[in-house]
Amino acid sequence: MITLDAPSFMAVMQHAKNRALREEVYRAYLTRASSGDLDNTDIISQILKLRLEKAKLLGYKNFAEVSMARKMATVDRVQELLEKIRAASWDHAVQDMEDLKAFVKDSGSAEANDLAHWDLNFWSERLRESKYDIDEEGLRPYFALPKVMDGLFSLANKLFGITVEAADGLAPVWNSDVKFYCVKDSSNSPVAYFYFDPYSRPSEKRGGAWMNVVFSRSSVLARHGSSVRLPVAHMVCNQMPPVGDKPSLMTFREVETVFHEFGHALQHMLTRQDEAFVAGISGIEWDAVELPSQFMENWCYHKNTLLSIAKHYETGEPLPEEIYAKLVAAKNFRAGTFSLRQIRFASVDMELHTTYDPSGPVSVYDVDRRVAEKTQVLAPLPEDRFLCGFSHIFAGLPRFD
């Protein structure tokens, strides 16, 4: 069964040879939560109206100023930076598209004359395989989840002197897939706990990956004779579950994602601050929260680290060093395109919360289309409703992705 959850959606976009199927799935994904009883359009409008009203009551011009008041940057500096990165990325993204068109044409495909949105990921993956000789799916056997987690915990021990131990049964879990861990310091004393929910469950979980707080460290809220309540976090991913006797086999990107989310979790769990409201990730400016996650993610490109976890799950054969070299070389593949994608997300967020009038005649989709025209080399489709699923700015609950 094909769903619109990220693992299923991306598998179709990157590997389905049937172009009609790719188009059908892409259009469904692009318009999710935008029609019938599940249409989020009115909810988005109401959220924006209430945020603007709140800003006015607090004496600000717009909600972006309210949000930035607790961050390091200002609205003007954010907009300047976004435009600077957009301008620097545009020519590279255009070249990405030209390279892709040339590759498709050289491949003899009729799609070269009419590349559409549902073709980009498919042909980009073929180009990446051709250019770097990397088969993303073929690498899965080298990244079994248990081995990856062991390597991640070993790295954390080397970097921070902590030990991560399984603590299943110590706390209730919401699904049998969920693992519970205890984090101990160099004296073998517990300093934190975390849940790890690794597998996709479309009927229960949204797509993507994130980390969030269960409890913050607090001396005031300590119980049962202890001096401090220890922090607890949860990490949630959406990987393919084990099949038969096979463990969950990960793509390299999923390995990066686990390292990334664990970086968020470490920042929360290794705090020494005893005041819950500013402990762990709670006391960090929002525009700085990605630093620990990016730090940990970059260890995936550290040779000794990656080769220590990349072992074939059946034979124990290590990942060939030439494959490691290709992964490093491919790190910045289509970087201009990916940079513009993130600039689109940030720019539409800023515009909706600065100059946009939610009571005026212009729709949120008009705003997004205007932004997309400057941040996508291939013009957006008229029916693009990605905002209806843009939980990062509309879900209302803080999380760390």
The residues assigned a catalytic role are 261
Q: What DSSP string describes 28-95?
A: HHHTTT-SGGG--HHHHHHHHHHHHHHHHHTT-SSHHHHHHTTSSS-HHHHHHHHHHHHHHHHHHHHH
CA distance 30 to 388: 9
Give how far the C-alpha of residue 401 lies from the chain's centroid of Cα atoms, to the nearest Å: 5
Element (H, E) at 187: none
Question: What are the structure tokens assigned to 373, written together?
Answer: 């025209």
The angle formed by the CA atoms of residues 339, 345 and 349, to the nearest 5 degrees, is 140
Cα–Cα nearest to 181, from 158, 221, 213, 153: 153
Written as one string, the DSSP assignment of 129-183 is HHHH---TGGGGGG-BHHHHHHHHHHHHHHHH--EEEE-TTSS--SSTT-EEEEE
